[in-house]
Amino acid sequence: MKNTMKYKGYTGSVAFDAEDRIFHGRVLGVSSALIGFEGATVADLEKDFQNAVDDYLEMCAEQGKEPGKPFKGSFNIRLSPDLHQSLVLNAANQKMTLNAYIKTVLEQVVTADQ
């Protein structure tokens, strides 16, 4: 994926604000905290991203809390009742659970996009 960076298992988004002429981002997939970072250069951005992750991990350690895991592997999705019904019926026709069916469909879409 473009416009991301990784550090210690965490993934950070990257965007550029042309008006303020600064790169900025946030750590993705950690629902328990909002972790942001910024920099005027790519090197500054990378350094601030790493510092933000390190600060977050240090804060968790100091508070005796388990750091939020990036991308736990589960998420909620809101659908219309009609779509929900269609998905359940399609899954049943494939002799699959709804979860397995949706996982298969999403894997196919992601693989096709790569």
- The pLDDT value recorded for residue 1 is 52
Torsion of CA 74, 30, 22, 52, to 10 degrees: -150
The percentage of residues in the chain with a pLDDT greater than 70, rounded to a whole number, is 98
Interior angle at CA 38, CA 17 and CA 18, nearest 5: 10
pLDDT band, very low/low/confident/very high, at 2 (cuts 50, 70, 90): confident
- Strands (DSSP E) contained in 1-114 are 4-7, 10-13, 15-17, 22-28, 36-39
The yes-or-no verdict on residue 23 having pLDDT over 70 is: yes
